[in-house]
Chains A and B, each alone.
Chain A
Amino acid sequence: TQLLEQSPQFLSIQEGENLTVYCNSSSVFSSLQWYRQEPGEGPVLLVTVVTGGEVKKLKRLTFQFGDARKDSSLHITAAQPGDTGLYLCAGALAYSGAGSYQLTFGKGTKLSVIP
């Protein structure tokens, strides 16, 4: 079972449209990160959210962390072809008993923005 559910899995939209990607879990995370990945490359960090209810903006991208720190969303306003890519959310599990943590990734949302 996937600990982090991302939706939608695929999204194809016209340039200028708005979109929202969702990341949901039954687990509480100490932080959640959003990455963007191009084919054949490593994920590139977009943002880290750590506080329940936190909202962060990065130009046309708005990230929100749920109040209970179990879910997050990424909203893109007026999408452009340059936004095309794989968007991944990753949660850091909120435990420290083993003195470590791991990032748990969703399967990703593959976004295509058509000119």
Chain B
Amino acid sequence: ETGVTQSPTHLIKTRGQQVTLRCSSQSGHNTVSWYQQALGQGPQFIFQYYREEENGRGNFPPRFSGLQFPNYSSELNVNALELDDSALYLCASSFRGGRLGRETQYFGPGTRLLVL
């Protein structure tokens, strides 16, 4: 148990729709990162939030957006869903307070999104 929770666990949407995924960080963590994991692949970095601001982004289009709230919970929003967006979406929380790049990320169980 990492203390990181995600909801919903599974979701089915149709192409063109919008989706919001939620993540609750581990207590005391101030940073959240989101990843997309397609079947048979390793997780791909989407973006990271630190103190409610986006603080790094991977190679994903603007229709992928996010929010981090004062209690450090987070949302991932995806607009205009495409079939290729079908994947496991993972959030990971960490505490940034020491040397950058050395904090450990703890993953939630993920949300399985299927786009039809």
Chain A positions within 8 Å of B, measured between CB atoms, are: 4, 6, 29-31, 33, 35, 40-45, 48, 50, 88, 90, 92-96, 98-108
22 A-B pairs whose Cβ atoms sit less than 8 Å apart in the complex: A6-B42, A30-B99, A35-B107, A40-B112, A41-B110, A42-B6, A42-B92, A44-B107, A45-B2, A45-B106, A88-B42, A92-B101, A100-B48, A101-B56, A101-B101, A102-B48, A103-B33, A103-B35, A105-B43, A107-B40, A107-B41, A108-B42
Within 8 Å CB of A33, what residues of B?
104-105
Asked if B78 CB lies within 8 Å of chain A CBs, one says: no
Interface code B83-95, partner A: CB below 8 Å = 1, 0 otherwise? 0000010101000
Residues of A within 8 A of B7 (CB): none
Shortest CB distance A65–B (Å):
12
User: Which of A41, A95, A103 is the most central at the interface, judged by chain B CB atoms within 10 Å of its CB?
Assistant: A103
Size bracket of the B interface? 20 to 34
Whether B56 pairs with A48 at a CB distance below 8 angstroms is: no
Q: Is B65 part of the contact surface with A, judged by Cβ < 8 Å?
A: no
A108 vs B44: C-alpha distance when bound (angstroms): 12
Chain B: minimal CB distance from A17 (Å): 24
Are A42 and B55 also in contact (CB < 8 A) when A104-B45, A106-B42 are?
Answer: no
- Which 10 residue pairs across A and B have the least CB separation, nearest first? A100-B56, A105-B42, A30-B101, A42-B107, A92-B101, A101-B101, A100-B55, A102-B45, A96-B100, A42-B109
Give Cα A25–Cα B102 distance, bound, in whole angstroms: 18
Partner of A92, one of B6, B50, B55, B102: B102
